[in-house]
Amino acid sequence: MNVERKWKDQLYQEFARIGKCLSSPKRLELMDLLAQGPKSVDQLAKNTGMSVANVSQHLQTLYDSRLVRFTKKGNYVIYELAELSIADFMVSLHRLSEKQLVEIQRLKTEILQHHERMEPIELEKLVERMEKGEVLLLDVRPREEYEMAHIPGAISIPVEELEKHLASLPTNKEIVAYCRGPYCLMSAQAVEIMRTKGIKASRLEEGVHEWHHYVEDSRRSNEGGFIL
């Protein structure tokens, strides 16, 4: 075997480490959750319905592939993504999968049928209406995720606290709720809560990372660059 062939074989073997690591549905879900901010093993177990032992095992696999890192705070082990670019990769993975796999679109449509009249507002339209002061953007994720990063102009009311704060919401604007992105239903739950109280509300499908991609794509477009 020549040197170049051996080098290429070793190179693609290393690339395959990431592919093998991400072949687990549960590890992909953990990555999506960590894209929202650092979380303890206990939090991740609660969010995914897995046992702490199973979560720890999956996290170890992700750690071995250098996709996550951890710190210790007292008795807690806190995990986070190793690089911000990994969150960007997850957004790209979602986009590619939804484009190539019709089953994903079917599953999205199926689950949203359980939430009456839940057509999402388009991101571009949201930007226009926010600039005109016509809508209030509501981040319904846990507060620590909002504090880590949020869409500019959004206010934080976690979905589990929403009913207590309905009276404080403006009545002269439409409320647009968002959460962790296209495959998170906290925003749909929030919209249903508000609509049952007569509040005009809509759902934004995108989350923080999709927002950043939108801003970056718009910047490139305005500069005449290529958008891949």
Based on the residue annotation, tell me whether 179 is a catalytic residue of this protein: yes
**CB-CB contact of 99 with 112 (8 Å):** no
Q: In what order do the strands lie in the sheet with 174-178?
A: 155-156, 135-139, 174-178, 201-203
**CB-CB contact of 176 with 137 (8 Å):** yes
Structure tokens at 217: 């794509």
Which of the following is catalytic: 162, 179, 191, 208?
Answer: 179
CA-nearest of 181, 137, 172 to 156 is 137
The residues facing 40 across adjacent strands are: 78
- The contacts of residue 126 (CB under 8 Å, 6+ apart) are 135, 137, 176, 204
Q: Is 120 helix (H, G, I), strand (E, B) or coil?
A: coil
- The contacts of residue 146 (CB under 8 Å, 6+ apart) are 139, 154, 156
How distant, in Å, are the alpha carbons of 56, 123, 124, 127, 205 from that of 218?
Answer: 39, 12, 10, 12, 18
Structure tokens at 33: 């959750």
Annotated catalytic sites, by residue?
179
